[in-house]
Chains A and B, each alone.
Chain A
């Protein structure tokens, strides 16, 4: 039916354009929510979800109850849902969309698939039409036939689909997120919302997790806490640790810190009915003897400091310097997120230490360099006066130039940058600056621009 016809029949239509992105986002959110049933949830484009409930059904009292619960909760949120449980995701999809009944007992999948139309295979319309012209309308029409002619005519993929819908071969769901090796969770008959309850739950979950990890001598590097609200919203909190962590109290403290630092606080709504803690990345914990621990303790202490600050402020705000082997000032000392065990060497920096001269490099660097107005005697001479941030400075002492050429070998294919002439200068109050002139006068440019790049002590 065209839109015009539809409008003629019923003028009060609300028309919205199809928005595949929004549909996808919505499906993702439903998928998040479905993680309450199993951590392995896969998307079946464009409008389906596949849940691997192997070993998870008994937690909700059996497959019937799980399916009924899932369908009821989703439809009460306003979605039109159909669901089925079967041996493979494809079989379950076929039954849900085209079949009768909803739970197929193991071994019955092939039989259940027989009366379904060929559309249940998830093949495109052209192929269905072509098959219909040959007289094949239902799966039963093909299931008994010899395979070779079908493979020759319609491709191996076609027969594979048939096998999967009949659950004759195993198929696996590709999960949206990698499965965490350690998962613990708590379900509540009565949803909880009080902060204290949530904290207590996290602590018990952390203790469960610790027990699991202890068996294999591992600790978590990446932890994830999932809150499932009764009304279908799911919230995930993740933390990275600086070293493998197992101690429940420490895990608890990190999450508390994370919860405190949230910009939009955790809103329990009508309460959480499932809280799940999983360790996505783990590492072996090296056990050290606590007797000669004094040095280790300090290292541990420092690691936990990095961790706490990182959790609270995000790791991008807790940084260490790295020494790069380059003479280009902007690239010489990048900051990288601090990690424990990342022990940069003091020796890397030795080259900058000149005992006999005043420091050659500023203690603080302006990034990016700020343009300044400069008066110099001659275009390629030292500055006499300069204006930076609207303030005039008279140059009393100037040492330079120190010519630094760009690293042309890194700039292949990029806009060439200009040579810089650096000066260390001191103004009338004794404030010391690091400034540079960009471009060699007469060779690289006519009016070199000056920049303020750093401040000396």
Chain B
């Protein structure tokens, strides 16, 4: 079988189109970015979080799931303009374990519940199907996919398909994973989230949502660093994250019983 010169050149061009950092360039057009709200993170991400890409949010342990939900919704808040519809696909088990999205809570979190389309799916297979279908819909801003556990179906091929669909339509995909182990996916960023105490003056009030977020995969184009770890606070008013490291020591009255922060796993990143 002989390969024509044209086909060869086309293939060569396609390969050249794939950047050294793994970023596929679409006719040289750079995807829109949004600021996370913390300059250091924006710089490491190469100028902010990318639209039209996959971002993974993993709970470090099962008890961090509510914090991971909060962080994922924060990403939705960053990526979703208020007047654009967004989709939350959640598996039934996740709804039972963690509860269903609550309108007043979402509104209080700075999101627009009026534009939420909630899709309840019975299993991971349907979740993937629904996600792919949603990602092809350009009217959306963000698709939040919440499978339960660590389904086999969510393998490299499946995530790659989703990422390509996201890149083509410009809709961002946020996968909220409850499974403990993190398979190699095709996401641009992956965040490991654990709960963090909120800042407050006294023990009689609860402060803004806070998370300990670790950027473990950073494959965004122009990424300026390997990753990092921050304590972030979600400011629902501005719809941005802000850093809370500096004040943490003062804020947590539970130093004695707080768990040891597990040591950082080996950082995986492409540079």
Q: Which of B83-131 contact A (CB under 8 A)?
A: 83, 85, 87, 98-110, 112-122, 126, 129-130
| Chain A residues touching B, range | 35 or more
Contact of A358 among B63, B116, B198, B257 (CB under 8 A): B198
In the assembled complex, the Cα of A428 lies from the Cα of B258 at a distance in Å of 6
Task: Indicate which residue in A313, A352, A361, A456 contacts B70 across the interface (CB closer than 8 Å).
Answer: A456
Which listed residue (B105, B133, B253) contacts A361, Cβ 8 A? B105
Q: Which of B103, B196, B257, B258 contacts A333 (CB 8 A)?
A: B103
Chain A residues positioned under 8 Å from B139 (CB to CB): 298-299, 301-302, 305
Total number of residue pairs linking A and B with CB closer than 8 Å: 219
Residues of A340-366 at the interface with B, using a CB-CB cut-off of 8 Å, are 343-346, 348-350, 352-356, 358-366
B66 touching A364 by the CB < 8 A rule?
Answer: yes
- Give chain B residues whose Cβ lies under 8 Å from the Cβ of A391: 63
**List of A residues within 8 angstroms of B195 by Cβ:** 429-431
Where chain A touches its partner, the secondary structure class is mixed
Asked if A432 and B116 sit within 8 Å, CB to CB, the answer is: no
Give which listed residue, B108, B138, B140, contacts A353 with CB less than 8 A.
B108
The stretch from A16-24, A46-54, A227-235, A318-326 touching chain B is A318-326
B240-271: contact bitstring with A at CB < 8 Å (1 yes, 0 no)? 00000000000011100111000000000000
* Distance of A333 Cα from B69 Cα, bound (Å): 19
Within 8 A of B (CB), among A278-320: 298-299, 301-302, 304-306, 308-309, 312-313, 317-320
Q: Counting CB contacts under 8 A, is B137 at the interface? A: yes
Report the separation of the CA atoms of residues A364 and B69 in the bound assembly, to the nearest whole angstrom.
9
Q: Is the CB of A333 within 8 A of B104?
A: yes
**Which residues from A are CB-within-8-Å of B140?**
302, 305
Chain B residues in 8 Å Cβ range of A304: 137
**List of B residues within 8 angstroms of A298 by Cβ:** 138-139
Q: Which chain A residues lie closer than 8 Å to B234 at the CB level?
A: 457
Is the C-beta of B8 less than 8 angstroms from some C-beta in chain A?
no
Contact residue among A302, A312, A349 (Cβ-Cβ distance under 8 Å from B113): A349
Please measure, in the bound complex, the distance between the C-alpha atom of A277 and the C-alpha atom of B169, giving whole angstroms: 34
Q: Check B102–A365 contact: CB distance below 8 A.
A: yes
A-side contacts of B133, CB under 8 Å: 305, 308-309
Q: How far is the CB of A336 from chain B (nearest CB, A)?
A: 10
Assembly CA distance A359 to B103 (angstroms):
12
Question: Which residues of B are found within 8 Å of A157, using beta-carbon distances?
Answer: none
| Interface-facing stretch out of A6-14, A394-402, A413-421 | A394-402
CB-based contact B209/A456 at 8 Å: yes
A interface residues (Cβ-Cβ under 8 A, vs B): 298-299, 301-302, 304-306, 308-309, 312-313, 317-323, 329, 332-333, 335, 338, 343-346, 348-350, 352-356, 358-367, 391, 394, 396-399, 424-426, 428-432, 454-457
